[in-house]
Amino acid sequence: MGADGGADIGADTGADIGADGRWMTHGELAEARGIDRTSAVKLVLRNKWRKQKDNHGIVRALVPFDQARRKDMGADMGAAPGADLSRVVSALESAVAALEKQANSEAAALRERLEAAERRVIQAGSERDIAIANHNRIALEVEALRTADQARRAAGRLARIKAAWRGE
């Protein structure tokens, strides 16, 4: 318990910051950083900033001055807004170029696979045509043999014996 009857809930678990910070509620920290209140609570816990509860039960954390403001795209807080813009644009251009290179490589690989598949289809089509032609030729031969067999059977037994004797 603190001297005022309130609990000191985080008595210097990290480095002693002293006068190098500002006492802020989680809501004030969230507003200053442009984050939600839950994220502000997690930020205070993660950084082990000193916390105290006042007589009204409001928790305040001692936030370092350099952490009490919004961080804009990782830029240094002392730099002018947009000073890192050229580095960000350069990084984005590099990333886009890498993605384009990857996409072109994948597109080339897909084109090769498509061409190979088309060659297989053409080859399969010509093999299919050959198979159909062979099937049709064999079907005609089978039909000719059936017709000849029907004619032989229709001739009668004596005519078949005579034809067999002659070697027909």
Q: Which pLDDT does position 18 carry in this prediction?
A: 54
* pLDDT tens-digit series, residues 25-58: 999 998 888 899 999 999 999 999 999 998 999 9
CA distance 23 to 49: 10
Residue 132 located in a structural domain: no
Q: Which pLDDT does position 38 carry in this prediction?
A: 93
Q: What is the pTM of this model?
A: 0.34
Residue 168 located in a structural domain: no
* Number of domains, the chain: 1
Q: Which pLDDT does position 66 carry in this prediction?
A: 84
* pLDDT tens-digit series, residues 82-140: 556 888 888 899 999 999 999 999 999 999 999 999 999 999 888 999 999 999 999 99
CA distance 103 to 105: 5
Which H or E element spans position 153?
helix 85-154
Q: Which pLDDT does position 81 carry in this prediction?
A: 54
Residue 57 located in a structural domain: yes
Q: Which pLDDT does position 166 carry in this prediction?
A: 87
Q: Which pLDDT does position 76 carry in this prediction?
A: 47
Residue 29 located in a structural domain: yes
Q: Are 10 and 47 in contact (CB under 8 A)?
A: no
Residue 25 located in a structural domain: yes
Q: Are 32 and 69 in contact (CB under 8 A)?
A: yes
Residue 13's domain comprises 1-71
Distant-in-sequence, close-in-space partners of 163: CB < 8 Å, separation ≥ 6: 152, 155
